[in-house]
Amino acid sequence: MVAIDKRRVVVVGIWLFFIGLLVPTQLLAQCTNVISQFPYKEGFELAPSWVSGGQLSDWEWGTPQKKIITRAASGNKCWITGGLTNSAYGGPQISYLLSPCFDFSAIQNPFISCKLFWETERRFDGGGLEYSIDGGVTWKDVGNANDVVDCNNINWYNQGATSTVQQSWAGTILTTTGGNCVLGSGVGSWITAKHTMSYLAGKTNVRFRFTFTAGRTCNNFDGFAVDDIFIGDIPKASADFGFTCSKSLKMQFTAEATGCVAGYSWNFGDPVSVNNTATIESPEHVYSAPGTYNVVCSVKFQDNTTLVVQKQVTVFSIATKIDQPIACAGGNDGRLSVQVIGGSALYSYLWSTNPPQNTPQANGVGQGIYTIQVQANGCTLTDTISLTHPQALKALVLTREAKCGNANGSIGLFVEGGTAPFTYKWSNGTTLVNLTKISAGKYAVQIRDSNLCLLELKDIVVKDTSNFIRVFLGNDTTICNGSTLVLNAGSFDKYRWQDSAITPLYNVVRTGTYSVRVTDADGCTATDSIRVTVDCSDIFFPTAFTPNGDYLNQNFGPVGNVEAVKNYQLQIFNRLGQLVFSARDPNKKWDGKYMGKLLPPGTALVWMAVYSLPNRPMVQQKGTVVLVQ
């Protein structure tokens, strides 16, 4: 229908030759399923029905979602060039949308009506309609842009034929696109195009095709769309209307009239609203409140007759909610519901559960996104609602070992997920969250949340370990008569000496073997013993002294046969190896001070001594000494 100038590569003189080759003659001649029942109506909702093809064809069937062409004329689907979402159509393109075969032998006044929407470059791109009665050998235009306009011949081509351009539906509502494109003549909405075809009366092999041509450039438009085709005798006057609903109380009405319509008059039955009437073919009305209303559509025809259609419509909205959440992770005990607001009609319900449920409430629902459809008086509303399960119960377990065979272990729980509060049942009968003062072994616990969701932990192991503590009373030693040796067992929780004494310090004044058993806070024990001999034939060094000013065991130094000692030297070091005290006179003893300050109780130091006694070799001794309070 549209030729392309030299800048579009396709030459006008050969345009008809190519368009004649769009559909193979053999294909058209093989019409096996001929349509002879009329009127023929096709809205392309259930199937494509017609067939696309041609050079670089990009016709597509479905729901358009483009910049300007955003929907089908009615329902959800139609045919459109340039795909369903593309912002441009292809080129150079010479394509078609081919109909089934028709037998018009019983049609006296053939007539066609269709819904069209175009967004193309004006003059050089566009769509048209052709027919063939010889199996596709020849094709001719249906109608002409210059035909007389009446109720049965309207909106037929908006671009007439010239010496360079074929007649077509073409143009755009855009005012600028960039480049040297020809603009204007757009419609911006679906329109109804009608035309009579008296020359096809009685023909038995009739086929139609919508054609679309486009050049190489200026193709950044939505394309050419076709929907709602009617073929049959010129319709007698009739009137009806349809409607679609929304949750916002908005109703879209569409008059469905045949014949030469002169005008429409609507009354929406909503007198308190702002606009209760309308005079267009497809009005929209927002109702003042939910309810059931009587809608009247009056269609006036050119012969001054009027047909009145009255229907009852139910205007309502719906609200979904979660009546009962899922109790436990992975469960399917959730419950959803939908509330209908407004109207008094009998409603039908359909939930997208598996299996589907058809009541206002959906029971036994697991995690997922669900759709509810509510219908009444031809109105269908849809809503979705999401249901999620709670976070699964889980617990972090921390254990503390039992030591030295005692009941001093523990288990701590840190619970996450679920729904608080929680209850606990341990394998030893305890119902507290944590176990304390337990022996080594295996334990188990059952944790339940407020929804009775269960988490069971088995084989929680509390190990048995021992603290390897050590007590040292010193090496066997000798003291003189009248001297006192203080034995220090160290810092522990409990003490038990050989005579049942329970203090950390023990004074020795006579020959004997002395022993102690110590116990720490975990119940672990250690023992040690020392042999003390009372004999002044030699000297010895005590293991502890008490420089506390009470003049008892006040200084540290040699005790025993001190007067016979020769070649004497004593050195005392702290734990850092620093020399704290040094003396060459056995009668000079250390007072517990370092750099003029008394060291704190409990300080342990190392001493080294060398000396000789008459008729004996040189002696070397070393040991430790502790300051005791």
User: In this structure, how many other beta carbons lie within 10 angstroms of the beta carbon of residue 555?
Assistant: 14
Residue 94 lies in a domain: yes
The reply to whether 124 and 272 lie within a common domain is no
pLDDT exceeds cutoff 60 at 262: yes
Confidence of residue 550 (pLDDT cuts 50, 70, 90): confident
- Cα–Cα distance list, 455 to 69, 172, 350, 396, 421 (Å): 56, 67, 36, 12, 14
Residue 472 lies in a domain: no
pLDDT in tens, 155-191: 999 988 754 557 999 999 999 887 889 999 999 999 9
Residue 308 lies in a domain: yes
Q: What is the full DSSP assignment across 148-189?
A: PPBTTBBS--SB---SS---BB--BS-S--SSS---BB--SS
Listed in sequence order, the residues at least 6 apart from 620 whose beta carbon sits closer than 8 Å to its beta carbon are 608, 609, 610
Q: What is the full DSSP assignment across 249-316?
A: SEEEEEE--BS-EEEEEEE-S-TTSS--EE-SSS-EEE-SSSEEEEEEEEEEETTS-EEEEEEEEEE-
The total number of structural domains in the chain stands at 5
Exposure string for 174-209, b = 16+ CB within 10 A, e = fewer: beeeeeebbbebbbeebbebbbbbeebeebebbbbb
E-assigned strand segments in 421-476: 423-426, 435-438, 441-448, 454-462, 464-465
CATH of the domain at 442: 2.60.40.1080
Q: Of the candidates 179, 213, 233, which is a domain's last residue?
A: 233
pLDDT exceeds cutoff 80 at 30: no
Q: What is the full DSSP assignment across 32-61?
A: -S-B-SSSEEE--SS---SEEEEET---EE
User: What is the rounded average pLDDT of the residues 211-219?
Assistant: 94
263: nearest Cα among 275, 277, 250: 277
Q: Of the candidates 387, 408, 431, which is a domain's last residue?
A: 387
Q: Which amino acid is at 11?
A: V
Confidence of residue 496 (pLDDT cuts 50, 70, 90): very high
Q: What pLDDT does 12 receive?
A: 36
The reply to whether 326 and 270 lie within a common domain is no
Lowest mean pLDDT of 153-162, 277-286, 618-627, name the range: 153-162
The reply to whether 140 and 40 lie within a common domain is yes
pLDDT in tens, 399-452: 999 988 889 899 999 999 998 999 999 999 999 999 999 999 999 999 999 999
- Compute the distance between CA of residue 468 and CA of residue 404 in angstroms, rounded to an integer: 9
- Compute the distance between CA of residue 340 and CA of residue 337 in angstroms, rounded to an integer: 10
- Compute the distance between CA of residue 143 and CA of residue 129 in angstroms, rounded to an integer: 8
Confidence of residue 3 (pLDDT cuts 50, 70, 90): very low
pLDDT exceeds cutoff 70 at 18: no
pLDDT in tens, 567-613: 999 999 998 999 999 999 999 999 999 999 999 988 999 999 999 98
Residue 310 lies in a domain: yes
The reply to whether 191 and 125 lie within a common domain is yes
Confidence of residue 8 (pLDDT cuts 50, 70, 90): very low
- Compute the distance between CA of residue 215 and CA of residue 219 in angstroms, rounded to an integer: 7
User: What is the rounded average pLDDT of the residues 504-516?
Assistant: 94
The reply to whether 186 and 44 lie within a common domain is yes
The reply to whether 256 and 287 lie within a common domain is yes
| 355: containing domain | 317-387
Could you tell me if 624 and 605 are in contact, meaning their C-beta atoms sit under 8 angstroms apart?
A: yes
329: nearest Cα among 386, 419, 388, 390: 390
pLDDT exceeds cutoff 80 at 5: no
Q: What pLDDT does 334 receive?
A: 94
- Cα–Cα distance list, 598 to 478, 543, 545, 546, 626 (Å): 27, 18, 13, 11, 13
The reply to whether 100 and 227 lie within a common domain is yes
The reply to whether 256 and 229 lie within a common domain is no
The reply to whether 257 and 159 lie within a common domain is no
User: In this structure, how many other beta carbons lie within 10 angstroms of the beta carbon of residue 109?
Assistant: 14
